[in-house]
Amino acid sequence: MEENVKVDSKQDLGTIKLEQKRLKDCEWVFQFDEDEPQVFAWTNEDMDDESPTITFTIDNTEGAYISFKDKKTGKLFKLFARELSEEGIQLREFQAKQNKDLENGSEDKETQS
């Protein structure tokens, strides 16, 4: 009579470590083919304790991207992270100013009441 004996053949082969460069000041952009990338989001100076991401998720590491291809036109739509550019800095400053203006407008209305 034969007896089935299981032998555990697992071996520790070591550790694999993946490292990716985090972009401290970062913007997220989309791009069709090789057209000019368009900024749609960016990190904020107050994000030191956060790990900023766009959800569906593209994190702030080099080479992070999602792409979609239009079957009819063949155009490629690409979302990706990159180092913060001058355009991104200007957009971030513009948004911060708008937010501050909105806050000041709310405070003015409260003091007038």
pTM: 0.50
User: pLDDT digit of tens for each residue in the chain (113 aa)?
Assistant: 666 666 667 788 888 888 888 888 889 888 888 888 888 888 887 776 777 887 788 899 999 999 988 777 888 889 999 999 999 999 999 999 999 999 888 766 666 65
Alpha-carbon gap, residue 27 to 45, rounded angstroms: 12
Sorted by where each begins, the domain ranges of the chain are 26-105
Alpha-carbon gap, residue 47 to 56, rounded angstroms: 19
The answer to whether the CB of 33 falls within 8 A of the CB of 76 is yes
Q: How many CB atoms lie within 10 A of CB 34?
A: 8
**CA nearest neighbour of 31 among 72, 82, 71:** 82
